[in-house]
């Protein structure tokens, strides 16, 4: 297993710290504000879940974390260091340490290369070792992700989706990354095999100390794998906190709506006890996000203040950050609205 052992991030610096990150794209239709002022830290060895709907900017954010996109403004620091301030050699090391795995396992593999060739390719590009060493590392990586050795001779079309995603994981492991951005890595897989791939990510973290940013739209996945979770909406963070707090007792109305919209396989008698928050409409265009709070156009608790003033990013409970004028440690605005929080005894008349 030695060939795959990475150097886990061991100092006290955050694995990644994102500071007021802005990523804009200029198009003919105008400026797409994909990520528009986002700050958070990812700690060494943790899994930081990023949840958001399409258009929230989660994929753009993920690509930026892996160094594939340049910030329009703000900073991403890797273990406290900013890539721009480093030498070329140091920058290359960061590119190797910070990897990304994509959603579509098939599109990520060259159909004309054997699996072993694909797994060896990153090492060739980075001129790691000689051909024999590369082959040894690649075979070890395939074995580590639970694939039989003979699969190295096959081509992508002969593999199932789950196997292909394991190949992509193996390929990333050959570079001994410290940090991997996992962008919807199980979304294209059948539910029946998602568990085994998610278990593999957990095992690799335990063994190799890899830090993950786990990007997904699937609340049940993010809640299962993450230590902390950030909720992204239209290029801004709405809520960040420990996974249990965010996915079981969320404060922000948007997070609450997301959780309430998730279809749960519960029998009808248990289903009736869930509170239903139904959002109107869809996520607005990132070309022209709403003034003030970006969620206000769909928020059931929006007030006039929400249009005028952008909510501050506040820590309402230890480690639990929320961007909502009406949130505090007791909960968010929807927790106080009796019409919506039917059946909840904590409802109090305020606001």
Residues near other proteins, by CB under 8 A: 53-54, 160, 162, 190-196, 198-199, 202, 217-221, 223-225, 243-244, 257-258, 260-271, 278-279, 282-283
d(CA 283, CA 290): 10
Query: Residue 18 or 32: which CB sits closer to other proteins?
Result: 32
Cα–Cα distance for residue pair 208/123, rounded to 1 Å: 19
- Comparison of 80 and 148: residue with beta carbon closer to other proteins: 148
List C-alpha distances in Å: 105 to 154, 163, 185: 15, 9, 8
- How far apart are CB 262 and other proteins at their closest, in Å? 6
Per the document, the length of the chain is 351
Closer by beta carbon to other proteins, 45 or else 122: 45
Among residues 206, 183, 202, 212, which one has the least CA distance to residue 42?
212
In the complex, minimum distance from the CB of residue 32 to other proteins, in angstroms, rounded to a whole number? 16
Q: In the bound complex, what is the minimum distance in angstroms from residue 152's beta carbon to other proteins?
A: 19
What residues pair up with 18 in beta bridges, in sequence order?
40, 76
Question: Least distance in Å: CB of 140 to other proteins?
Answer: 23
Question: Which of 152, 136, 141 is closest to 200 using CA atoms?
Answer: 141
* Closest residue by Cα to residue 218 from 262, 254, 281: 262
**Least spacing, CB of residue 218 vs other proteins, in Å:** 8
Query: Which residues 6+ apart lie within 8 Å of 288 measured at CB?
Result: 30
Q: Least distance (Å) from other proteins to the CB of residue 11?
A: 25
Task: State which residue, 31 or 160, has the beta carbon closest to other proteins.
Answer: 160
**Beta carbon nearer to other proteins, 191 or 312:** 191
Residue 90: other Cβ atoms inside 10 A: 13
- Cβ closest to other proteins, residue 65 vs residue 243: 243
Strand partners, 101: 182
């Amino acid at each position: 297993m030695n060939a795959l052992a990475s150097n886990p991030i061991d100092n006290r610096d955050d694995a990644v710290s994102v500071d007021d990150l802005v990523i804009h794209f200029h198009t003919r239709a105008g400026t797409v504000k994909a990520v528009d002022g986002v700050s958070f830290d990812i700690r060494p060895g943790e899994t930081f879940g990023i949840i958001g709907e399409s258009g929230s900017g989660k994929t753009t954010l993920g690509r930026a974390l892996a160094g594939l996109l340049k910030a329009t403004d703000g900073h991403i620091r890797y273990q406290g260091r900013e890539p721009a301030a480093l030498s070329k050699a140091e920058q290359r090391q960061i590119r190797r340490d910070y990897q990304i795995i994509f959603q579509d396992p098939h599109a990520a593999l060259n159909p004309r290369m054997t699996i072993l060739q694909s797994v060896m390719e990153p090492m060739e590009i980075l001129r790691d070792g000689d051909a024999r060493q590369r082959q040894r590392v690649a075979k070890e990586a395939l074995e580590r992700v639970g694939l039989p050795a003979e699969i190295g001779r096959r081509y992508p079309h002969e593999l199932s989706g789950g196997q292909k995603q394991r190949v992509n994981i193996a390929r990333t492991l050959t570079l001994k990354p410290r940090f991997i951005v996992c962008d919807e890595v199980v979304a294209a897989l059948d539910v029946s095999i998602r568990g085994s791939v998610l278990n593999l990510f957990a095992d690799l973290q335990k063994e190799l100390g890899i830090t993950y940013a786990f990007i997904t739209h699937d609340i049940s996945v993010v809640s299962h794998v993450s230590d902390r979770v950030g909720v992204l909406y239209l290029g801004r963070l709405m809520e960040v906190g420990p996974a249990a707090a965010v996915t079981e007792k969320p404060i922000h109305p948007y997070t609450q709506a997301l959780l309430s919209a998730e279809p749960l396989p519960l029998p009808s008698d248990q289903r009736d006890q869930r509170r239903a928050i139904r959002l109107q409409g869809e996520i607005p265009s990132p070309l022209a996000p709403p003034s003030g709070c970006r969620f206000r156009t769909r928020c059931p608790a929006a007030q006039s203040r929400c249009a005028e003033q952008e909510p501050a990013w506040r820590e309402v409970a230890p480690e639990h950050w929320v961007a909502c004028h009406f949130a505090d440690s007791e909960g968010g605005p929807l927790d106080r609205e009796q019409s919506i929080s039917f059946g909840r005894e904590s409802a109090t008349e305020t606001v």
